[in-house]
Structure 1
Amino acid sequence: MSKGSLYHHFPNGKEELLIACLESLSDTITLDIESIFSHYPTTQESIVAMIDKIIKKYETEGTITGHTFTSIVSEMGSLSDAVRKACISLYTKIEAIYESKLVAEGVSIEKAKAKALMITATIEGGIMLCLTKKTSEPLIVIAQTFQKTS
């Protein structure tokens, strides 16, 4: 693609292209999470199933693309406010899925918000550890921990 074509479709340049990619990835990630959560009766079972899916992808492909913005967000200091906001949007959507499932199980909205944040941080951290350590063990441990707790 020529530089002229890029700026024709994305007049604000590479940043606008990045934001379009982030929005597309956000839609893919949230649809996947919503699909998983709709197939299981509890938040706990949904989370374990989601983590199992991520583990299988890592173990078969050696990567965890399409499930996280972590690598992009880790460079947040150099990103613009618009890109940061696109990343916040995904995390907000993910937390809303978790929160909704928890509230449906009878958890208060306040506790559900706190638990949704904890779940997001735990899974995102687990993904980063898997990629860093080159093993799915961190996500396996997280899934086992969720299976043991209610």
Structure 2
Amino acid sequence: MTKTTTRDKLIQAMADALQRKGLHGVGLNELLKTAGAPKGSLYHHFPGGKSELAVAAIEHIGRRIDEFVARLFAQQPDPLQALHSWLQGALQQLQSSQFERGCPLATVALESGPEDLEIRAALEHCFATLRQALARQLHRHGHAREQADNLAALFVALYEGGLLQARVAGSTEPLRRAADALFNLARQQPPGGDAA
């Protein structure tokens, strides 16, 4: 069993903070306390400060996406049911956290500005990784490549937008309604094989 380093603990603390509070909603002292890390350790491991730590946390989330999506689709033979299970898990987490825990990527994306080049690049890569992982699984389950790419893009947009609206409303209804509409449409257009 590998030992969790101070650097790892800081990354995990930041990933958690991004999901709950966003980049600007968490202070350095809170991060250090959550990580159980001594003062000075943040700048020792991340000389660029909180922004560099945020990039590391986003990259950490991105590395776990393929594994998460593969596990999700392995548990459900029906790809639409796999996506439904993901949404159900997100909604349960949202409700149990009193609508505090959203998507860490969306929270940071909304806060970032044009000057946040490294953060935006990490977010762009992470969102692309998520869409690609979903599209791979959908294609593996019978969807044509373009259909799989489009459905993955639509699902990620629905998930992010619906989760954001649910957090603001303090209700799961916005995401539930959007998901119901998507799944009804997807069932009307069954998977199709590639022409090539």
Normalised to the residue count of structure 2, the TM-score between the two structures is 0.67
Structure 1 partner of 2:190? none
Unaligned runs of 5+ in 2: 1-37, 188-196
User: 2:78 is matched by which residue type in structure 1?
Assistant: T
Is 2:99 aligned against 1:63?
A: yes
Give me the whole-angstrom Cα distance separating, in 2, the residues matched to 1:62 and 1:28.
25
1:26 and 1:90 in contact (8 A); partners too = yes
Give me the whole-angstrom Cα distance separating, in 2, the residues matched to 1:79 and 1:65.
26
Structure 1 partner of 2:140? 104
Equivalent of 1:19, from 55, 74, 78?
Answer: 55
Give me the whole-angstrom Cα distance separating, in 1, the residues matched to 2:142 and 2:47.
47
1:40 and 1:46 in contact (8 A); partners too = yes
Is 2:184 aligned against 1:145?
A: no
Give me the whole-angstrom Cα distance separating, in 2, the residues matched to 1:9 and 1:128.
32
Structure 2 partner of 1:73? 109
Deviation at residue 37 of structure 1 after TM alignment = 2.0
1:95 and 1:113 in contact (8 A); partners too = yes
1:29 and 1:67 in contact (8 A); partners too = no
2:109 and 2:120 in contact (8 A); partners too = yes
Is the helix fraction higher in 1 or 2?
1
Structure 2 partner of 1:124? 160
Normalised to the residue count of structure 1, the TM-score between the two structures is 0.85
Give the percent of matched residue pairs that are identical in Structure 1 and Structure 2: 23
User: 1:41 is matched by which residue type in structure 2?
Assistant: P
**Equivalent residues, number:** 149
Structure 2 partner of 1:82? 118
1:19 and 1:86 in contact (8 A); partners too = yes
User: 2:93 is matched by which residue type in structure 1?
Assistant: K
2:94 and 2:102 in contact (8 A); partners too = no
Structure 2 partner of 1:9? 45
Give me the whole-angstrom Cα distance separating, in 2, the residues matched to 1:67 and 1:30.
16
Higher RCO (C-alpha 8 Å, min separation 6): 1
Deviation at residue 146 of structure 1 after TM alignment = 4.0
Equivalent of 1:38, from 39, 59, 74?
Answer: 74
CA deviations over 1:88-146 (Å, ceiling 9, x no partner): 12211211122012212322212221221111101110000101111011122233234
RMSD between superposed Cα atoms in Å: 2.2
2:158 and 2:179 in contact (8 A); partners too = no
For the structure 1 residues 34 and 105, does the alpha-carbon distance in structure 2 shift closer, same or farther, using more than 3 Å as the test?
A: closer
For the structure 1 residues 39 and 120, does the alpha-carbon distance in structure 2 shift closer, same or farther, using more than 3 Å as the test?
A: same
Unaligned runs of 5+ in 1: none
